[in-house]
Structure 1
Amino acid sequence: MNKKFLGLALMSTIILSGAGLLNADEANAHGYVEKPAARGYQGSLDKNTMGWTAAMEKYGNVITNPQSLEAPKGFPQAGPADGRIASANGGLGQISDFVLDNTGADRWVKQDVQTGENTFSWHYTAPHSTTKWHYYITKNGWNPEKPIARKDLQLIGEVKHDGSAASNNKSHQVTIPADHSGYHVVLAVWDVEDTPNAFYNVIDVNVKGNGEITPPVEEAPATPTNVKTSEVTTSSLKLTWNTVSNAKEYNVYRDGKKVATVGGTQFNDANLAENTTYSYQVEAVGTNDKISEKSAAVKATTQSSEVEDNQKPTAPTNVHSMGTTENTVDLMWTKSTHFLGVKNYEVYRDGKKVATTEKTSFKDTGLKADTTYKYTVKVISVGGNVSENSAVFSVKTKEAPSGNTTWEADKIYNTGDKVIFDDLEYEAKWWVKGDRPDQSDAWKLLSDKVMNWETSKAYNGGDKVTFQGQTYKAKWWTQGNQPGTESVWELI
């Protein structure tokens, strides 16, 4: 398939009920490092000074969409391929080129940072549930004239999260090594909790400090205060506390046993027993790794399911698409709350229920190209109470390339039939109906794109896959054999 079709999402629009007309990429956008400015965000700033055409030539389509540099998570074992790290493999098709991977010591605007502790702040347009953020910097001796590869990077920081929304953890303290100076690139990775994806931002930095670093603080951080519980249900609760100066993370204790380490000042505890009292304490871990005294204990008792459910759950909010193709819409929304807890969500397309899920996401497949669909989501509580519908999310699937048809789940395909699925072209090997092209042996991938290896999928001799940032080719038929460890795969 011609590459010019890969970025058509940039041209579509959506209508959010009650919010007016918005660009589709604003709905698909999720976040970027705002300070110091990431490369993509810098491009969106530069378009206002250097002009749209010049900025587009230098940065590519990211100037309209700095929030959507998204690729599979699991870095460095998985994620974008070497040489495509800066562009996040093109942002899952939302950005149609790889201009951000271009090289040169003088090509990119550099942000001044110091050796030692620096603050990296994110701007979230959809504050997804989050597992962690992790930060890397190019090693001394890296070559700025070559695209960034894994071997060029070293880990310099990790900020753990508890799966709650990213909005309660916007800024992170990251230490630039004392032996670094001059031009380097920092890679910031934001791992989303409830999708297989992460957001990748590179920040071009000019490291100052001549190898000197501020002497570390010797004393332990202060004891956390104002520890509180809220949103207590039959099986979960939220714990919050005040920020402690010089703390890089916090240890959370339940009934005297450590149950989590988080980077922010919030912890969502789950899988609790109903009608049970728990005691919580928090301690701060300093940037020098010294640990504070534990906070005063706070107790909370979970709800009983025998309590009458006389209250509707809050309606799901922020329904949006994580990515829209010719025949798929990857929906996501913000978690609902209820005093007893949430049982599941129901997804409606054009007024008809199409899914029931416990997750806050659903990928709708088998859709028609160039067609507008309207989605609503509602939630059901543990006690069976049903929320109001979410606001209507209206989205139009992408137009199919000329001469191609999009895959439809209820259609029969014969040998040789060609379809488009998730922006890629496939050909049927034999009669098939209902089997997704990206998951079934009945389909052959025709597009010039190497997909990530999947343990459950069968591959024929000559098929290519990416795994842990490297590309492999199958020597013969294989299924379940991991590239890099089995002789059936040849590194290319």
Structure 2
Amino acid sequence: MSVKMNNLSYLKVGLMVVGLFFMSLAFTTIVSAHGYVSNPESRALLCADGVNVDCGAVVYEPQSLEGPGNFPEAGVPDGQIASAGGVFPKLDEQSETRWTKVPMSSGAFTFEWTLTAAHASYNWDYYITKEGWDPNSPLERSDFELFCTHNDNGQRPDFTTTHDCEIPQRSGYHVILAYWEVADTANGFYQVIDANFDGEFEPGDPGEPGEPDPEDPGDTPEWDPNAVYLNGDRVSYNGNVYQAKWWTQGDTPGESDVWELVNGDAPETPEQPEAPEWSSTTAYNGGDRVTYQGVLYEALWWTQGETPDTSSVWVVVN
């Protein structure tokens, strides 16, 4: 009798070990997810940047919105599209005022993904909410229409991947769903973008005579400390033209690393404060600066153990 009980105990232990092994594999699949939309900034990335608040754990992993693939025929359930099937459920909270909106215009636009692991890829699809959608209800398939797709045919993309699309005419608040179908797993990546469309798009030729000169301060709008600027936006400040390198609000051109001088003479660069050497065991928050191999880096969001010269969480300051 005691022998049978011992064998049963061994069986139970063995099943527990197997169960933990598969749970570990599932967890690894989630946390090793590898991509987010960096232009325009997705809902998840704005959470990581601290612009969106009360987001949950996605602030540490905007690249980890991975869920079942083959969307829209299969994939994540309705009501959980923003969270990739409940990975980060806070992202599914939906109302007209819940999320910060990035300013956009209809027409030609280049979407940019930042990848931390370049999965072999099938396709990249872009959807936008239909006219008359309800912004105060959970996001469902029926809210979206496909407007752009790119096929990679199983190839591995670059770590910075861009897609040229034509956004349909829209005005006011709309949600864009960027979907990445990978080829080496059965999953896909889901990124939603909250956009405010100005409704003034006109598909003119940007090279026509008489168009404003983007490097002329007289033709470029003045910097507004209350305005939200995206990667590539240009402003004039103190007679110079500056271009934003990533999302910004309230950062003064000529004083902040987010702005790059386009014309004129660069103002004297203030002396950079000393920064501690990067440590693999230290946790850093967005805005923290470190030195690594003689180069100054700044963290975009929370990080620990990610080497500054190999991870997209770090940007070079000098």
Equivalent residue number for residue 180 of structure 2:
190
* Post-superposition CA distance 1:229-273 (Å, at most 9, x none): xxxxxxxxxxxxxxxxxxxxxxxxxxxxxxxxxxxxxxxxxxxxx
Aligned partners of 2:107 and 2:201 also within 8 Å: no
Equivalent residue number for residue 192 of structure 2:
202
1:143 alignment partner, one of 127, 130, 134 = 134
AA in 1 matched with 2:153: D
Compute the displacement of 1:27 (Å).
6.1
2:62 is aligned with 1:66: yes
Aligned partners of 2:45 and 2:62 also within 8 Å: yes
Compute the displacement of 1:212 (Å).
3.0
Compute the displacement of 1:60 (Å).
1.4
Aligned partners of 1:69 and 1:90 also within 8 Å: no
Equivalent residue number for residue 466 of structure 1:
none
Equivalent residue number for residue 42 of structure 1:
46
2:98 alignment partner, one of 104, 107, 117 = 107
Other structure's SS at 1:167 match: coil
* Post-superposition CA distance 1:127-183 (Å, at most 9, x none): 1001110000000111110011111100010011121112177011121112x1111
Q: 1:107 to 1:124 in 2, by over 3 A?
A: same
Aligned partners of 1:135 and 1:157 also within 8 Å: yes
* Post-superposition CA distance 1:27-77 (Å, at most 9, x none): 61300001111111110001xx78xxxx3xx21111111111111111111
Compute the displacement of 1:184 (Å).
0.4
AA in 2 matched with 1:84: Q
Higher strand share: 1
* Whole-Å separation in 2 of the counterparts to 1:26 and 1:135: 22
Equivalent residue number for residue 242 of structure 2:
none
Other structure's SS at 2:119 match: coil
* Whole-Å separation in 1 of the counterparts to 2:37 and 2:160: 13
2:85 is aligned with 1:85: no
* Whole-Å separation in 2 of the counterparts to 1:34 and 1:70: 16
* Whole-Å separation in 1 of the counterparts to 2:190 and 2:204: 29
Equivalent residue number for residue 411 of structure 1:
none
* Whole-Å separation in 2 of the counterparts to 1:151 and 1:216: 35
Other structure's SS at 1:40 match: helix
Compute the displacement of 1:210 (Å).
2.5
Aligned partners of 1:59 and 1:99 also within 8 Å: yes
* Whole-Å separation in 2 of the counterparts to 1:212 and 1:61: 40
2:202 is aligned with 1:212: yes
Other structure's SS at 1:90 match: coil
2:168 alignment partner, one of 153, 157, 177 = 177
Aligned partners of 2:67 and 2:188 also within 8 Å: yes
Aligned partners of 1:116 and 1:214 also within 8 Å: no
Aligned partners of 1:181 and 1:211 also within 8 Å: no
1:370-449 correspondence to structure 2 within 5 Å: none
Q: 1:205 to 1:38 in 2, by over 3 A?
A: same
* Whole-Å separation in 1 of the counterparts to 2:29 and 2:186: 20
2:151 is aligned with 1:160: yes
Structure 1 runs not aligned, ≥5 long? 1-11, 13-23, 218-492
Aligned partners of 1:88 and 1:200 also within 8 Å: yes
Other structure's SS at 1:103 match: coil
Aligned partners of 2:94 and 2:136 also within 8 Å: yes
AA in 1 matched with 2:118: P
Aligned partners of 1:36 and 1:203 also within 8 Å: yes
* Post-superposition CA distance 1:195-217 (Å, at most 9, x none): 11000000001112425333699
* Whole-Å separation in 1 of the counterparts to 2:159 and 2:93: 34
Aligned partners of 1:83 and 1:149 also within 8 Å: yes
Aligned length: 181
2:37 alignment partner, one of 29, 33, 36 = 33
Aligned partners of 1:26 and 1:65 also within 8 Å: no
Identity of aligned residues (%): 43
Q: Normalized against structure 1, the TM-score is what?
A: 0.35
1:159-308 correspondence to structure 2 within 5 Å: 159-167=150-158, 170-178=161-169, 180-214=170-204
Other structure's SS at 2:49 match: helix
Other structure's SS at 1:183 match: strand
Higher helix share: 2
* Post-superposition CA distance 1:347-386 (Å, at most 9, x none): xxxxxxxxxxxxxxxxxxxxxxxxxxxxxxxxxxxxxxxx
* Whole-Å separation in 1 of the counterparts to 2:32 and 2:109: 29
Aligned partners of 1:84 and 1:90 also within 8 Å: yes
2:120 is aligned with 1:129: yes
Structure 2 runs not aligned, ≥5 long? 1-23, 208-318
Equivalent residue number for residue 218 of structure 2:
none
Other structure's SS at 1:187 match: strand
Aligned partners of 1:71 and 1:198 also within 8 Å: yes
Aligned partners of 2:122 and 2:153 also within 8 Å: yes
Compute the displacement of 1:106 (Å).
1.3
Q: Normalized against structure 2, the TM-score is what?
A: 0.53
Q: 1:168 to 1:66 in 2, by over 3 A?
A: closer
